[in-house]
Amino acid sequence: MPDGGQTTEGRKGHIPPEQRRSAPIPEQRAVPSQEQVIVHTPAHTSVPAARRAGLLVTLVLGGLTALPPLSMDMYLPALPEVTRSLGSPAATVQITLTACLAGMALGQIVVGPMSDKWGRRRPLLLGMVVYVLATAICALAPTTELLIAFRLLQGLAGAAGIVIARAVVRDLYDGEEMARFFSTLMLISGVAPIIAPVIGGQVLRLTDWRGIFVVLTVVGIVLTLVVWKWLHETLPPERRHSGGVGAALRTMRGLLADRVFTGYMLAGGLAFAALFAYVAASPFVVQEIYGASPQTFSLLFGVNSIGLIAVGQINGKVLVGRVSMDRVLGFGLVVITFAAVALLLMTSGVFGKVGLFPVAAGLFVLMSAMGLAMPNTNASALMRTPHAAGSASALIGTSSFLIGAVASPLVGIAGEETAVPMALVQLVCAVGALGCFVGLVRPWKHQPPVERPAADV
């Protein structure tokens, strides 16, 4: 876990201010220190005060990344009630989830380049205000069509938190410290999918489905005020990009032309799709095929989420700095692939009739290994893009959501009596992620980042 109390000189990947003054360093490679940009404290600030500020920034960025999962998962227990309340078919109400997910994917493409041009703070605050307004209107929506429209807007605005949180991390950290910070964010944002359905269920005990959106509106207001008060600008004017949509598209084209960046991006997106396949299929597989109760499913879901979080913390606190990030990432992708192979063999009957416990164990291993893959793909990709962290973060997030959205419906393609499609989708995604890592990243070559200003992209 990154320590907000470290001095600039003691943090890896940062350049002390006095060295920046005495040596010519390209603007796009200068990484501002957290004390300079976020806290605005004098040089003699005590270590405990700086550590408290660093923890606050961690919590703010964690809250931003946790808000979209909260928006999705708190709403899940209310779907049947929404169907009855608005008098719409269940299939139509399901579109409210798809609309939110699509908004999160597309919104990142828009907000990422905006944050490279105007800085992180203004687009983030604008996104948060729109999120609050859209969520409040969802609470008042009289028809399913209006609910779908504003769920889409809610996702578009909520994407600002995801993409800008990653860009802020890139502004503040580099190398090993960035990987540690992403592991910390995984701890915070990983808790959200676990507690969100529980919170939603408890809200439904007190009020109806509209109350869930009221709670999300309040959360959005609080987070907006916290961002406005404590999260200062992290991208100085000299590192911002000029130009409009054309310049943003050229920047993204240049990023995609970087084979190594694209390899990390696709490897992370395909690994994320394997996780999406689990989320989409596990309620059906565990409860319908293996006959577990909803309580058992909730327990298994929670255990798997805890496994992902725990391994992510091992990655950040133990492995980073001691083992190459590429080596850890490669090992994680190999474990995910082997777990997917085992799940396919078990669900297809190769070992005969297999009970819930072996399948649950395979899912636990697969999910836990995500704690090695996801932080390191994000950190490794963003390490190559200090000149366009917002656009790079947008491409990473959008590709993950879009690949996951394509993979998720395939898990039920063979009906309700087999879990083979889930395991097969996970295996294809895992093999694809490993192939992108080996074929595009080629970690044994240790290629340096390609840094180009926006005008050259």
- 3-class SS letters over the chain: CCCCCCCCCCCCCCCCHHHHHHCCCCHHHCCCCHHHHHHCCCCCCCHHHHHHHHHHHHHHHHHHHHHHHHHHHCCHHHHHHHHHHHCCCHHHHHHHHHHHHHHHHHHHHHHHHHHHHHCCHHHHHHHHHHHHHHHHHHHHCCCHHHHHHHHHHHHHHHHHHHHHHHHHHHHHCCHHHHHHHHHHHHHHHHHHHHHHHHHHHHHHHHCCHHHHHHHHHHHHHHHHHHHHHHCCCCCCHHHCCCCCHHHHHHHHHHHHHCHHHHHHHHHHHHHHHHHHHHHHHHHHHHHHHCCCCHHHHHHHHHHHHHHHHHHHHHHHHHHECCECHHHHHHHHHHHHHHHHHHHHHHHCCCCCCCCHHHHHHHHHHHHHHHHHHHHHHHHHHHHCCCCCHHHHHHHHHHHHHHHHHHHHHHHHCCCCCCCHHHHHHHHHHHHHHHHHHHHHHCHHHCCCCCCCCHHHC
List Cα–Cα distances, 450 to 353, 382, 406, 453, in angstroms.
52, 11, 31, 10
State residue 323 phi and psi, 5-degree precision: -125, 140
Q: Which regions of the chain are under pLDDT 70?
A: 1-54, 186-187, 189-190, 193-194, 243-245, 294, 414-416, 446-457
Q: Would you state the pLDDT for residue 355? A: 87
Q: Which two tokens stand for residue 212?
A: 């869930």
Q: Would you state the pLDDT for residue 448? A: 53
Q: Would you state the pLDDT for residue 414? A: 60
- How many C-beta atoms lie closer than 10 Å to residue 245's C-beta? 9
| pTM score, whole prediction | 0.69
- Is residue 423 packed enough to be buried (19+ CB in 10 Å), middle (13-18) or exposed (0-12)? buried
Q: Would you state the pLDDT for residue 216? A: 94
- pLDDT tens digits for 30-53? 333 333 333 333 333 333 333 344
Q: Would you state the pLDDT for residue 450? A: 47
- Is residue 266 packed enough to be buried (19+ CB in 10 Å), middle (13-18) or exposed (0-12)? buried
Q: Would you state the pLDDT for residue 434? A: 96
190 contacts 309 by C-beta, under 8 angstroms: yes
Q: CA 130, 133, 136 angle in degrees (round to 5)?
A: 145
162 contacts 104 by C-beta, under 8 angstroms: yes
State residue 320 phi and psi, 5-degree precision: -65, 130
Q: Would you state the pLDDT for residue 339? A: 96
Q: Would you state the pLDDT for residue 359? A: 92
72 contacts 100 by C-beta, under 8 angstroms: yes
